[in-house]
Structure 1
Amino acid sequence: MTPSAGSASEWVLGVDSGGSGLRIGLARAGDPQPVGTVVSREPVRTGAAGIDAGHLLEQLLPAARDVLGREGAGHPAESGGRVATVAIGAAGMATLGDDLRATLPGALAAALGVRRLALAADAVTAYAGALGPRPGVVVAAGTGLIALGATLGTADGPGTWRRADGWGHLLGDCGGGAWIGRAGLEAALRASDGRRRGSRALLARMEAVFGPAAELPGLLYPRTDRAAVLASFAPEVGRCAAEDPVAAEILREAAHCIAEAAAAVRPPDDGGEAPFDVALTGGLFGMGEQLLGPVREAIGRHLPYARLVPAAGDPLDGALGIAAALAMDELLLPADPRLLHLPAMPEAEPPESRA
């Protein structure tokens, strides 16, 4: 049975699940600005089966009930509506989301009465938050880096997603926080050894943050959060870049990687001269002008017809926007089995029968 289109009186939930934990927002279907939020600082576990759906639900359901209760959304008679739709953006959804896709539709229908669900890669919710439902390119960069491009459906065919990088700190994420931090630490160790392309400035910062050079491998290699530890040194590279040519070159190379990823996912255009929007989102760009200046220059070289625009919102805003649009039958972003999955939902019991 296909559910009817939602109304502005219905409530929607947006969820942003990443390396720093969960953020949950509640909004009206007709206005995706959150009226209540809950934050959990515990990241969802990943195991042999991928992202652990049970662990996500252990955190999501109590937090969702909390925000729903605070806003009077738990009972339609009190709120003038019902919780119709949930959109979850999760890091690793594209490749590690099988347990979420199998478990969440039934679990959320049973626990919250959800009738519609969107399961999205965190890059998709980052895209939706930054650009909304329009074609273009978004580069999301924090510890890692991924570029995502979208075209919308027309009478000639459905829309499509294009992605570049996002392969993790061992195989890619070129230009992201872990990549910059690793390059900075390598330059520091080169200086410690007396090799070329070393940086005495970065060596001093490395020793201040991590201790003597000889101890760094023992501190870093056994850790399961190596990518986050590497990324923690990226701001030090940014601080040194104003005076240190090695650090400045690292950021220029990172900017080249960012522009290259954006160019790989640009909207297809036979002439190559149609303008399109590019937005940058994620904590890495908080590094400021030391990185943003080289990025603007690199994008100008690689994508001369791109318009670099500010991100309108963050991934939680994107999840709420997707949920609101889905509830109103107005979702324009393309569905995709791995990037933006819209599963069939079981019939939810009326809230009165679950009380």
Structure 2
Amino acid sequence: MSTPSVRWVVGVDSGGSGLRVALADAAGAGAPEVVDARTPVRTGPAGIDARHLLELMLPMVRALFVRTGHGASGTGAEVAAVAVGAAGMATLGGQLRAELPGALATELGVRRLALAADAVTAYAGALGQRPGAVVAAGTGVIALGTDLAGWRRADGWGHLLGDCGSGAWIGRAGLEAALRAHDGRRGGSTALLSAAESLWGPVTGLPGQLYPRTDRPAVLASFAPHVARCAIEGDPVAEEVLGRAAGHLVEAAAAVCPPAQQGVARGAGVDVALTGGLFAMGDPLLVPVREQMAAQLPAARLVPAVGDPLAGAVSIAAALADDSLRLPTDPALLHVPLAAPAERGR
């Protein structure tokens, strides 16, 4: 009597810090197997480099098959669906949309594929496939909401034009307060000045250290935990910075909640989840976020995020595999080809 083959799904999370790949039983049995690479996928003039993503991803998938005992080729197993979540997919994903369906059909026999912005996989990881709003915040910030008919997006415009309330925003506001203290201007914080100088030396040299760098958002965000520490220690300027950040984050959540109907409060009955590394700073930020939720979205429910963006990619792939995807498709945010080449003509 032959053993039934296992149907697998693959979830991929591609971001600025590298690539993570998960292999999971499509039926949901057992925990996914995960492997990661600290090499980010290259981005060039044509957008996200599809060939580089494949060079990184395919050996990782095969290594996961070996780990599960199915051999490097996945003998006795079927890859039913793949979901790739990538930072920059909305504006830089043209090459992925053009090349991945055929390549994955050839290499893995994949019949179903979803290409998603990382905000969508963050949403799916946090709330699954139910209506609601998610604020994903780390170095940057983006809010995404859906009523399952379409998507609403707020912010995600980068540290020069937006990302209000993000790690980079908090770090920049904290450093501005440090420089104000150095100059003797109103709004300065000697606590933040001391923290900045302990990291980078005299603040007069900070512009020369910061402006030439290509990773300015990450450098700014690296100061956010020091703002939180100063707030814990009772510095009123640091507390005020985090209060303003919380206001921006909740404003973004409010913007993506489904529009209020006549006589119904905005956000009534809507689940709002927070996800991303920024919220790991805990109460210094979360307490003012809860206060702002009560002020701006009193009828919404703040709920814990169930999982991370990689878990969201796995859940989207699993939904594709059994024809239960409810999240709305969108050319920029969640692209699902009608059929991969391996399935066409059947």
TM-score by length of structure 2 reads 0.93
SS in structure 1 of the partner of residue 159 of structure 2: coil
The match for 2:125 is: 129
Can you give the 5+ residue segments of structure 1 that lack an aligned partner in the other structure? 1-6, 153-158, 350-355
Contact conserved, 2:5 with 2:78, CA < 8 A, in 1?
Answer: no
Supply the distance in 2 between the matched residues of 1:170 and 1:71 (Cα, whole angstroms): 45
Supply the distance in 2 between the matched residues of 1:117 and 1:89 (Cα, whole angstroms): 11
CA deviation string 1:17-71 (max 9, x = no partner): 1111111101011117643111111111222212121221121111111112221
Supply the distance in 2 between the matched residues of 1:139 and 1:55 (Cα, whole angstroms): 29
SS in structure 2 of the partner of residue 38 of structure 1: strand
The match for 1:28 is: 25
Supply the distance in 2 between the matched residues of 1:95 and 1:348 (Cα, whole angstroms): 27
More moved, 306-315 vs 45-54: 45-54
1:247 to 216, 219, 238: 238
The match for 2:201 is: 211
**Which one-letter code corresponds to 2:189 in the other structure?**
S
More moved, 214-223 vs 161-170: 214-223
**Which one-letter code corresponds to 1:46 in the other structure?**
T
Supply the distance in 1 between the matched residues of 2:68 and 2:296 (Cα, whole angstroms): 47
**Which one-letter code corresponds to 2:117 in the other structure?**
A
Supply the distance in 1 between the matched residues of 2:100 and 2:138 (Cα, whole angstroms): 27
Assess, with a 3 A threshold, how the Cα gap between structure 1 residues 308 and 38 changes in structure 2: closer, same or farther.
same
Deviation at 1:109, TM superposition (A): 1.2
Deviation at 1:261, TM superposition (A): 0.4
SS in structure 2 of the partner of residue 312 of structure 1: coil
Deviation at 1:217, TM superposition (A): 1.1
Assess, with a 3 A threshold, how the Cα gap between structure 1 residues 33 and 260 changes in structure 2: closer, same or farther.
farther
Supply the distance in 2 between the matched residues of 1:40 and 1:232 (Cα, whole angstroms): 22
**Which one-letter code corresponds to 2:124 in the other structure?**
A
Can you give the 5+ residue segments of structure 2 that lack an aligned partner in the other structure? none
CA deviation string 1:72-96 (max 9, x = no partner): 34589844x3012110111111111
Identity, % of aligned pairs?
67
The match for 2:315 is: 321
SS in structure 2 of the partner of residue 31 of structure 1: coil
Supply the distance in 1 between the matched residues of 2:291 and 2:29 (Cα, whole angstroms): 34
SS in structure 2 of the partner of residue 188 of structure 1: helix
2:299 to 292, 295, 305: 305
**Which one-letter code corresponds to 2:260 in the other structure?**
D
TM-score by length of structure 1 reads 0.91
Supply the distance in 2 between the matched residues of 1:217 and 1:171 (Cα, whole angstroms): 19
2:282 to 288, 291, 310: 288
**Which one-letter code corresponds to 1:301 in the other structure?**
A
Contact conserved, 1:13 with 1:320, CA < 8 A, in 2?
Answer: yes
Assess, with a 3 A threshold, how the Cα gap between structure 1 residues 328 and 86 changes in structure 2: closer, same or farther.
same
CA deviation string 1:143-175 (max 9, x = no partner): 0000000112xxxxxx11100000111110000
Deviation at 1:272, TM superposition (A): 3.0
More moved, 32-41 vs 316-325: 32-41
1:272 paired with 2:264, answer: yes
SS in structure 2 of the partner of residue 12 of structure 1: strand
SS in structure 2 of the partner of residue 22 of structure 1: strand
Supply the distance in 1 between the matched residues of 2:260 and 2:73 (Cα, whole angstroms): 48
Contact conserved, 2:180 with 2:188, CA < 8 A, in 1?
Answer: yes
Assess, with a 3 A threshold, how the Cα gap between structure 1 residues 186 and 333 changes in structure 2: closer, same or farther.
same
1:101 to 97, 102, 115: 97
Q: Give RMSD over aligned pairs.
A: 1.8
- How many residues in Structure 1 have an aligned counterpart in Structure 2? 336
Contact conserved, 1:8 with 1:31, CA < 8 A, in 2?
Answer: no
The match for 1:337 is: 331
More moved, 138-147 vs 338-347: 338-347
Assess, with a 3 A threshold, how the Cα gap between structure 1 residues 73 and 163 changes in structure 2: closer, same or farther.
farther
Contact conserved, 2:62 with 2:72, CA < 8 A, in 1?
Answer: no
More moved, 56-65 vs 115-124: 56-65
